[in-house]
Amino acid sequence: MIYLKIKKYCFIFFILGTLFSCKKTDSHPDINEKLLRILDDKIKHKKYYEIKKKNHIQKLKKEALLYKNNDSISYHLNNLIVEEYLGYQCDSAYIYSDKNKEIAIRNNNEIWLYKNLLQRSVLLSTTGLFVESKEILDHINPEALPSPLRFSYNSAYECLYSNLSDYSGGDSPYNKIYKNKLAAYYNSAYRALKPSDPFYYLFLSHKNRIDNNWKLSGQNIDEFLKTTKPGTRLHAIGSFCKAVIDGKLGNIESQERCLIYSAISDIESSTKENRSMQDLASILYQKGETVRAYKYIQSSLEDANFYNARFRNIQISKVQPIIEETYLQTINTQNKQLRWSIFLISILFAGLGITMYFIYKQLKMIAKSRNELSNTNSVLKSLNNKLDEANHIKEEYIAFFIRQNSNYLEKFERYKKLISIRLSTGQLDKLSAMVNDKKNEEMDLNELYHNFDQAFLRIYPNFVNEVNKLLRKEDVYNLKEGTLNTELRIFALIRLGINDTNQISEFLRYSLRTIYNYRSKVKAKSVIENDEFEAKIMQIGSIITS
């Protein structure tokens, strides 16, 4: 509710800023578009203004109920209620008009009765009951009316013939008769008023319009509009009259803008008996704005049905089918375009799906090729590592055996010289002792094993630590750096690819049984299955090539 009030004040400031732009002929369509958007929003919130109208009427009804025993106040309040209902809901207006007629007759008050009859005549002509409206006016002697009611009398006739003129249409032979009648009543109405009265310029404008003095009529209506407030029924009437004048003068954009002002004021004042929305729909239809025209003509028809104005329904029925048919054609065209768009989008999606499928297949093939390439690279890398390892082992082996052979050759030369000397000197006993010396043999074996340990640990520096990982914590080996014991030498030979127990036995100078026992003993300490132990040993291999 607060939001709508804020919007209303914003709209009033906007109207005040552009109120006299109806006078200009060089209007800008973008201003009209902004106003049309405001009107669109007002249509969406019609219920808010209707509730506001109902609340005001309900307040008057409650007040009338409080003063039901006071005919003077009751008549005044009922008259206000009729005025509120006059442009809002005719059936309810009749009810309170009847109440005032009873009050006037009961009090034998001619002024009240005349006032009620004139008001009722306007109500009847507004709802399309022209015969009944004229019948009331024909039975009233204008000479018998007090001065304040003579204007109301002329105004009631003006309303009757104005509605008859609208109802008959411009091509009707009766239209000229109605306009001649209108000219007379316009002339009488404005002469009965002083220039200080706001309605003076309204009826003077009507008179000049009937006399085809359109430019002067426009100036008159501008003066009348200065006395009205946006959002009221009078402002809606004045703006509509200005739109008619601008249309006749060829100011189409200004005509459209004034109709928008009028339609907005009709909605804000909850005036259901209106013409602006209908005419605006026709202009927009001619401009090709079918959707908006359809929405406006539907809003106009909704108002006419609510008000129960028969001749307004007839007027709308002449325009609505044309707009509705074009609207439906537009909707059908849009639906066809939408179906084609959906069809094309479906084809595009199908094509995209097929493309994505082939891309997916290609990506899978590429991924598969990459995996195969990666696996091949892994295999090649593994083979290269093994080759590097084999080369490294070969280099270490060669270096080891060169050193060993060199040492043996040196020892052999020394033995050879020593044997030669002792043979030449006849020291056979010393020669025999030297040959049978076990201590020298043991020293040679220790040197061999020491050299083997160093050579092997150069190839596999983490061998002892890796073996310890396979053993229980309490059974790990804590050896001097750079040395192996007999058990580890057995598995060192296995790691070098020497699996033959006979070869191991010959190298380590132990029996086959002893070698077997050592192997079993180490496996018994393992935290893994015995069958897997030697396979794990074969996986040990940190290579140092320096």
pLDDT by residue (tens digit) across 233-282? Answer: 999 999 999 999 999 999 999 999 999 999 999 999 999 888 899 899 88
Question: What local confidence, expressed as pLDDT, does residue 108 receive?
Answer: 95
The pair of structure tokens assigned to 47 is 């219920």
Residue 373 has pLDDT above 90, yes or no: no
Residue 13 has pLDDT above 60, yes or no: no
The pair of structure tokens assigned to 104 is 């006037």
Question: What local confidence, expressed as pLDDT, does residue 134 receive?
Answer: 92
- 258-279 exposure pattern, b = at least 16 Cβ within 10 A, e = fewer: bbbbbbbbbbbbbbbbbbbbbb
The alpha helices in 107-213, defined as continuous H runs, are 110-126, 130-138, 147-168, 173-191, 198-210
> What is the pLDDT averaged over residues 193-209?
87
The alpha helices in 426-462, defined as continuous H runs, are 428-435, 438-459
| C-alpha to C-alpha distance for 126 and 189, rounded to whole angstroms | 19
| C-alpha to C-alpha distance for 317 and 210, rounded to whole angstroms | 27
Tokens 């040395």, located at residue = 483
| C-alpha to C-alpha distance for 455 and 467, rounded to whole angstroms | 18
> What is the pLDDT averaged over residues 66-71?
92
| C-alpha to C-alpha distance for 522 and 525, rounded to whole angstroms | 5
| C-alpha to C-alpha distance for 326 and 290, rounded to whole angstroms | 7
Question: What local confidence, expressed as pLDDT, does residue 371 receive?
Answer: 84
At 73, phi and psi to the nearest 5? -70, -40
Q: Say what the pTM is.
A: 0.59
Domain boundaries, the chain: 29-54+230-308, 328-425, 437-538
Candidates 142, 88, 147; CA nearest to 117 is 142
- 136-151 exposure pattern, b = at least 16 Cβ within 10 A, e = fewer: bbeebeeeebeeebeb
- CB-side neighbour CA atoms (13 Å) of 239: 32
Residue 99 has pLDDT above 70, yes or no: yes
Candidates 123, 50, 57; CA nearest to 86 is 123
| C-alpha to C-alpha distance for 263 and 236, rounded to whole angstroms | 7
Question: What local confidence, expressed as pLDDT, does residue 379 receive?
Answer: 76
Residue 304 has pLDDT above 90, yes or no: no
Residue 392 has pLDDT above 80, yes or no: no
Residue 16 has pLDDT above 60, yes or no: no
Candidates 248, 289, 309; CA nearest to 39 is 289
Top-confidence residue, 313 or 23:
313
404: which residues sit within 8 A by CB, 6+ positions away?
A: 448, 451
Candidates 147, 185, 145, 149; CA nearest to 164 is 185
Sign of CA dihedral 154, 160, 166, 169: negative
> What is the pLDDT averaged over residues 484-508?
87
DSSP code of 227?
A: T
Tell me what the pLDDT averaged over the chain comes to.
Answer: 82
Residue 333 has pLDDT above 50, yes or no: yes
User: With contact defined as beta carbons under 8 Å apart, do 60 and 84 qualify?
Assistant: yes
Tokens 């006016």, located at residue = 137
Question: What local confidence, expressed as pLDDT, does residue 439 receive?
Answer: 63
CA angle 28-34-40, nearest 5°? Answer: 135
Top-confidence residue, 18 or 339:
339
Beta-bridge partners for 471 = 526
Question: What local confidence, expressed as pLDDT, does residue 186 receive?
Answer: 80
| C-alpha to C-alpha distance for 378 and 386, rounded to whole angstroms | 12
In angstroms and rounded to an integer, the radius of gyration of the C-alpha atoms of the chain is: 59
pLDDT tens digits, 416-466: 777 777 677 777 676 666 666 656 667 777 888 888 888 888 888 888 999
CA torsion angle 259 261 262 265 (round to 10): 160
Residue 5 has pLDDT above 80, yes or no: no
